[in-house]
Structure 1
């Protein structure tokens, strides 16, 4: 296949951006964006580091981030598998992007900015749940924020589900594909118990 190798060639192929696609961008958390983000319990955080890029899903049983002020979002990092790919990247390259999604809503909200990782007691204490604290907090400084039009989610039928006839591999089956002796069922049974909505 033949790659496009210049911005000029790319822009010639696509033409001029729709004006609203540019003017919709804001540089801080406005009242409408605050309402939207506070309703979001799921976000994908994208980072970049020396080894490449990383996209990590994050979810909570209430708002997935805390809005500290109109330029700062706080994302707790709860106990997980300790791969810490996103955190490693942020420590070495502070650029981040966030994509917030709300079930049944066809729009998404995107944030581009910079971030730090902190283990300050005061920041972690903001997220205390049932006596548990996050391992760290990612503090994101908003550079730009805008909503993504609904076409992608409408085209994919994301919230309509896949249907009962679609059989997808489980977490255990993914691992067993690499290790034939792995107990996929035992892992999946334990994972199902762990994944019940308590988390903390």
Structure 2
């Protein structure tokens, strides 16, 4: 049976616990700010006229700066230049960020409205070895809440015993070789570590 109405969902799942609703607030309090400051990795989700995008972003813990209790600043470091999420932000602005912290089961979600800044003083706040991000994403917070640890517990995400050997999966070069005719996947893989090192910032 396909579920097609909200009423069907409510009947199937029932009402949320009171604490599930109470934990959602419209700003960063001290507890939620602690998660932002400890996180070295986020997933940024956006929506635009061509669909949705969910992009990973990572850096040293606390790389997402708290400008105030209702505003986050996220540096956009060098990547593949697809800029899918940036284009979505220009067209729509709705965005969500999921903060992950290695070894911690709970995650933090922030929903809000994003805009893009290239203001020099703001970029300078995120300089690493003299290198600036091209832009900074400013997220005006609408809601903040934590997710319980169940999904992390079920996946055993932080359990080293469950970690996958990278060699058991296709390499980046192999993936591209199988998609792009004539692509030299072996050379790509050989050059990748040094290229990545030089372009981190």
Q: Which residue of 2 aligns with 1:99?
A: 98
Distance 1:132 1:191, change over 3 A: same
In the alignment, the residues of structure 2 paired with residue 150 and residue 197 of structure 1 have an alpha-carbon distance, to the nearest angstrom, of 36
TM-score, normalised with respect to structure 2 = 0.93
Distance 1:128 1:32, change over 3 A: same
Tell me the secondary structure at the aligned position of residue 158 of structure 2: helix
Q: Which residue of 1 aligns with 2:17?
A: 18
The number of residue pairs the alignment matches comes to 199
Tell me the secondary structure at the aligned position of residue 80 of structure 1: coil
Structure 1: gaps (5+ residues): none
Q: Which residue of 1 aligns with 2:121?
A: 122
Shift of 1:199: 1.7
Q: Which residue of 1 aligns with 2:59?
A: 60
1:134-169 Cα shifts (integer Å, max 9, x gaps): 000000011111111100010001112434497112
Shift of 1:170: 1.5
Per mean C-alpha deviation after superposition, the further-off stretch among 130-139 and 2-11 is 2-11
In the alignment, the residues of structure 2 paired with residue 3 and residue 155 of structure 1 have an alpha-carbon distance, to the nearest angstrom, of 26
1:47-73 Cα shifts (integer Å, max 9, x gaps): 000110000000013423010000000
Q: Answer yes or no: is the 8 Å Cα contact 1:61–1:197 preserved in 2.
A: no
In the alignment, the residues of structure 2 paired with residue 50 and residue 175 of structure 1 have an alpha-carbon distance, to the nearest angstrom, of 27
Q: Which residue of 2 aligns with 1:188?
A: 189
Q: Answer yes or no: is the 8 Å Cα contact 1:96–1:115 preserved in 2.
A: yes
Tell me the secondary structure at the aligned position of residue 76 of structure 1: strand
In the alignment, the residues of structure 1 paired with residue 84 and residue 166 of structure 2 have an alpha-carbon distance, to the nearest angstrom, of 34
Distance 1:197 1:111, change over 3 A: farther
In the alignment, the residues of structure 2 paired with residue 167 and residue 157 of structure 1 have an alpha-carbon distance, to the nearest angstrom, of 19
TM-score, normalised with respect to structure 1 = 0.94
